[in-house]
Amino acid sequence: MNTTTTRLNALRGGQPPVNHNARTLVGLSVNPGCARRALLDACGADKGTVARQAGHPWQFGQSRFALARGNAFEQQVKEYGGARLLALLRESLDLPVEQVAYIPLKSVGDSTGREQRYRQTCRALVGAARGGPDPGTLYDHPMLRLNVGGNDVYLEPDLIAFKIGDRFYIVEIKSFPVIDRQANGAQVAAATRQASIYVIALQDLFATNGLDPELVATSVFLVTPKDFGNTPIATLVDARKQISMLNRQLARMDRIDILLDLLPSGLTFDLAVDTTGVPTRPAANLAADLRRIPARYRPECMAHCELAGLCRDEARQNASLDVYGQGVVDIFGGVDTTHTALALAEGRQPSDDQAGVARTLRHAERLRAALAEGAA
Amino acid sequence: MQNNEETLDELENRLAQLRRALRLAMVERDAARVAQLRQQLHRAESLWEDKAAAEQPVSAADASDASAPAPVSPDAPVSEPALAALLPTREQVHQTLSLLEVPAAPKLITAVHEAFFPGELPASRLASLRRDEERSYRSAPNARPYYLCPALTADRLAPARALLTVSTWPLERRIMGAHSPRVDFLTTATKIASALISYSQLGPRWTPDAQTRAERLLRSFAVSIPGALGPPTLAGHVPALDPDQVGDAAKAELSVHLEVDRRQRSEAATWARDRLSEAERLFGNRLASVRNSASAD
């Protein structure tokens, strides 16, 4: 066990580690500059419990209804050996009629152990890539593995389709609608990022087995309901940009020890769980430790990070401009807090790099004063 | 869900349980659950009435729920749904699987049953069926004329997820190879298509409701089979459904896969006959480490 692992374990404390999944990896790439999140994720702390214990429980999470809808749609697309999906692939990729093999990888016999399923997935996919006797077409719920910051993360894509031309495609089934061939951009982007993680993991699987990672297509299939019904349609989405972005992100995770070196000694996220599994660490104490690690709060964090409540609270207390989003931060380049902004507007001498912003602020302040006078 | 082989005492216990649950649901104002429990209570009550009446003349009271499925006769004094409600769940499933002749998941069994047979067969009732059947077999092997068993995966002869089969089928049919899901899907389409054709000749005894359900089911299959549906008549209109055409299209695609699938299934079946005990052949090999020699290298 190397020192980084030991230090990460100490940071996490007595709780068992929580594993990354595609969602958390995607969340990570949304705010790459946040050291607090990077460290919590790297040490495998349960951010949800930590946030609750620190007095800022995450309020939203995934909607029960959205989950149920998503599962129902996925089931519809995949039932009867992926019959609907085959029809879609035949339509959009000219999949030959002979290619119908469907290989379920959701369990190995009665066992659903991840390691066993991963080995089974390796065997099936590597066999197919090497052109074994019976190359499959659809692989249902394969188990992939990716090394993130020194730890193995298991990932489970919805499906992998194997196509002629020796290319493997990742199929991502999502239940947001495509209305008149237009889908919500943010949702497509999130789905593509998630699928990109699977592409990277599959490339990694081939590379470790001495095969060409190029076998994996960098375009992913998004299967979504059409218009207001339940009819699935497939769209091929180019994911090259997301893949390279996530690759950069993952490479950065390996350098977690740089962040560890900056930490004050004795800092830990230990929840002091008692014998019944109830965390006993005082909220203020835990929150204080969390606050000693620099965070970079953004409004988008609320949708991606369990700890966002705490960070927002902190940003508000510090009067940080981050609370107002990236657009405002960009306009106020060189000014970090509302206090500074107000002081500059009211005539404080700006530093050199604040001169431009100060002029704008003073102009705005004059306009505001004129308006207030007019109203009086 | 309980089947109909319970005694009067057990039934009375269940009635009491249902009434308690119903009262609780009423207190909690859970309308959906109240409706569901009322229905169950009603069914259990009429079952109790039937049983109590049947026990009076002492004679072969249990004979009605013993073995082979009672053929639903149109001249029967009891109405068809009432008679079907008396059919144990396993008989209903057997009836449905005998129509399909391929391994089927609970959802499909329910849908086919709804379309072609009287009475209800909620998927929830199928949940414990596999376990009950296996328990029954293990306590008294071969005491019943048939058992409902899982399908077996071709690679390790383990029980396949969710799929139900009948023990009297040839082993080849009960094994799922890589091509089997598609082959079974197409076979199911042909079976539903021909059942739809023959049932539509039954006239009023097949309710319009059931016919609509059958047509909807067949359509859900047809959309995934090339050439099974005609071209859309008008923009935005759904193409007409012709059971003959669906059957033909399914058979056409079936001819492409049948040979490959038959080979895979019979290889696995031979292997199973050599290596597995009778119980394992029926309920699957539980040792995940035993692997097909083909996939091990």
pLDDT per residue over A53-89, tens digit each?
888 887 766 678 888 888 899 989 988 888 999 999 8
Same domain, yes or no, for A49 and A180? no
Interchain contact, A116 vs B288, CB within 8 Å: yes
pLDDT above 70: percentage of residues in chain A: 94
Task: Please check whether residue A254 lies inside any domain of the structure.
Answer: no
Same domain, yes or no, for A182 and A72? yes
Rounded distance between C-alpha atoms, residue B267 and residue B261, angstroms:
10
Rounded distance between C-alpha atoms, residue A124 and residue A138, angstroms:
11
SS3 for B165-216 is EECCCCHHHHEECCCHHHHHHHHHHHHHHHHHHHHHCCHHHCCHHHHHHHHH
DSSP designation for B62: G
- The pLDDT of residue A330 is 85
Instruction: Find the mean pLDDT for residues A210-223.
Output: 91
- The pLDDT of residue A114 is 80
- The pLDDT of residue B81 is 54
Could you tell me if B238 lies within 8 Å of chain A, comparing CB atoms? Answer: no
Interchain contact, A109 vs B158, CB within 8 Å: yes
Length of chain B: 297
Residues of chain A contacting residue B257, judged by C-beta atoms under 8 Å apart: 98, 100
Range of the domain at A348: 332-375
Rounded distance between C-alpha atoms, residue A174 and residue A73, angstroms:
8
B152: Cβ contacts below 8 Å, ≥ 6 apart: B158, B159, B160, B174, B175, B176, B268, B272, B281, B284, B285
Same domain, yes or no, for A101 and A226? yes
Closest CA to A120 of B88, B156, B187: B156
Checking if the pLDDT of B77 tops 70, the result is no
Same domain, yes or no, for A143 and A170? yes
Could you tell me if B226 lies within 8 Å of chain A, comparing CB atoms? Answer: yes
Interchain contact, B288 vs A104, CB within 8 Å: no
Same domain, yes or no, for A221 and A272? no
Q: What angle do CA A300, A43, A317 make, to 5 degrees?
A: 40
More confident residue, A29 or B263: B263
More confident residue, B79 or B254: B254
Closest CA to A15 of A301, A286, A347, A340: A286
Same domain, yes or no, for A116 and A146? yes
- The pLDDT of residue B290 is 43
How close, in Å, is residue A172 to chain B by CA atoms? 19
Where residue A102 falls (left for φ over 0; alpha for ψ -120 to 50; beta otherwise) is beta
Measured in degrees and rounded to the nearest 5, phi and psi for residue A169 equal -115, 140
Task: Please check whether residue A307 lies inside any domain of the structure.
Answer: yes
Interface test with A, best of B224, B237, B259 (most A CBs within 10 A): B224
Same domain, yes or no, for A220 and A302? no
Checking if the pLDDT of B56 tops 80, the result is no
In total, how many domains does chain A have?
3
Give the confidence band of B185 by pLDDT, cuts at 50, 70, 90: very high
Name which of A86-100, A273-287, B52-66 the model is least confident about.
B52-66
Contact A149, A120 (CB under 8 A): no
Checking if the pLDDT of A28 tops 80, the result is no
Could you tell me if A130 lies within 8 Å of chain B, comparing CB atoms? Answer: no
Could you tell me if A324 lies within 8 Å of chain B, comparing CB atoms? Answer: no
- Closest residue in B to A117 (Cα) is B288
Contact A310, A290 (CB under 8 A): yes
Give all strands of the β-sheet with B148-153 in edge-to-edge order: B159-166, B148-153, B175-176
For residue A336, give the amino acid letter. D
Rounded distance between C-alpha atoms, residue B176 and residue A243, angstroms:
36
More confident residue, B297 or B283: B283
> Residues 77-106, chain A: which have Cβ within 8 Å of B?
79-84, 86-87, 90, 97-98, 100-104, 106
Checking if the pLDDT of A1 tops 60, the result is no
DSSP designation for A62: S
In the block, residue with structure tokens 């609320």: A302
Checking if the pLDDT of B80 tops 80, the result is no
Give the confidence band of A115 by pLDDT, cuts at 50, 70, 90: confident
| Upper half-sphere CA count for residue B262 (Cβ side, 13 Å) | 6
Rounded distance between C-alpha atoms, residue B250 and residue A213, angstroms:
37
Task: Please check whether residue A10 lies inside any domain of the structure.
Answer: yes
Task: Please check whether residue A255 lies inside any domain of the structure.
Answer: no
Rounded distance between C-alpha atoms, residue A55 and residue A284, angstroms:
8
Interchain contact, B161 vs A106, CB within 8 Å: yes
Rounded distance between C-alpha atoms, residue A245 and residue A29, angstroms:
8
Q: Which of B156, B257, B295 sits opposite A109 (nearest CB)?
A: B156
Interchain contact, B182 vs A134, CB within 8 Å: no
Task: Please check whether residue A369 lies inside any domain of the structure.
Answer: yes
In the block, residue with structure tokens 């399923």: A117
Interchain contact, A79 vs B295, CB within 8 Å: no
Interchain contact, B178 vs A102, CB within 8 Å: yes
- The pLDDT of residue B253 is 93
Beta strands in chain A (DSSP E): 102-104, 138-140, 144-148, 151-155, 159-163, 167-173, 219-225, 232-238
Give the confidence band of B104 by pLDDT, cuts at 50, 70, 90: very high
- Residue A257 tokens read as 């020890």
Could you tell me if B156 lies within 8 Å of chain A, comparing CB atoms? Answer: yes
Give the confidence band of A9 by pLDDT, cuts at 50, 70, 90: confident
More confident residue, A182 or B233: A182
Same domain, yes or no, for A102 and A234? yes
Same domain, yes or no, for A25 and A133? no
Rounded distance between C-alpha atoms, residue A323 and residue A295, angstroms:
12
Distance of CA A219 to the CA centre of its chain: 19
Checking if the pLDDT of B76 tops 50, the result is no
Interface test with B, best of A74, A76, A80, A121 (most B CBs within 10 A): A80
Checking if the pLDDT of B140 tops 90, the result is no
pLDDT above 90: percentage of residues in chain B: 34
Instruction: Find the mean pLDDT for residues B271-294.
Output: 73
Could you tell me if A233 lies within 8 Å of chain B, comparing CB atoms? Answer: no
Same domain, yes or no, for A105 and A240? yes
- Residue A175 tokens read as 């239940």
User: B209-213: which pairs have CB atoms within 8 A and are 24 or more residues apart?
Assistant: B210/B114, B210/B115, B210/B116, B211/B115, B213/B111, B213/B114, B213/B115
Checking if the pLDDT of B71 tops 70, the result is no
Checking if the pLDDT of B61 tops 90, the result is no
* pLDDT tens for each residue of B208-266: 888 889 999 999 999 999 888 877 666 666 778 899 999 999 999 999 999 999 999 99
A14: Cβ contacts below 8 Å, ≥ 6 apart: A270, A271, A272, A273
Length of chain A: 376
Same domain, yes or no, for A227 and A336? no
- The pLDDT of residue A223 is 92
Interchain contact, B264 vs A83, CB within 8 Å: no
- The pLDDT of residue B293 is 37
Could you tell me if A136 lies within 8 Å of chain B, comparing CB atoms? Answer: yes
Chain A / chain B CB contacts < 8 angstroms: 70
- The pLDDT of residue B247 is 93
How close, in Å, is residue B296 to chain A by CA atoms? 9
Task: Please check whether residue A371 lies inside any domain of the structure.
Answer: yes
Q: Which of A86, A111, A123 sits opposite B288 (nearest CB)?
A: A111
- Residue A184 tokens read as 């919500």
Q: Which of A97, A107, A136 sits opposite B178 (nearest CB)?
A: A136
Task: Please check whether residue A258 lies inside any domain of the structure.
Answer: no
Closest CA to A100 of A92, A109, A90: A90
How close, in Å, is residue A202 to chain B by CA atoms? 21
Closest CA to B243 of B135, B151, B115, B142: B115
- The pLDDT of residue B167 is 92
For residue A191, give the amino acid letter. A
Task: Please check whether residue A257 lies inside any domain of the structure.
Answer: no
Instruction: Find the mean pLDDT for residues B110-133.
Output: 86
- The pLDDT of residue B60 is 39
- The pLDDT of residue A132 is 67
Could you tell me if B188 lies within 8 Å of chain A, comparing CB atoms? Answer: yes
Same domain, yes or no, for A285 and A226? no
Q: Which of A83, A109, A123 sits opposite B286 (nearest CB)?
A: A109
Measured in degrees and rounded to the nearest 5, phi and psi for residue B150 equal -75, 160
* pLDDT tens for each residue of A339-353: 989 898 888 888 888
Give the confidence band of B182 by pLDDT, cuts at 50, 70, 90: very high
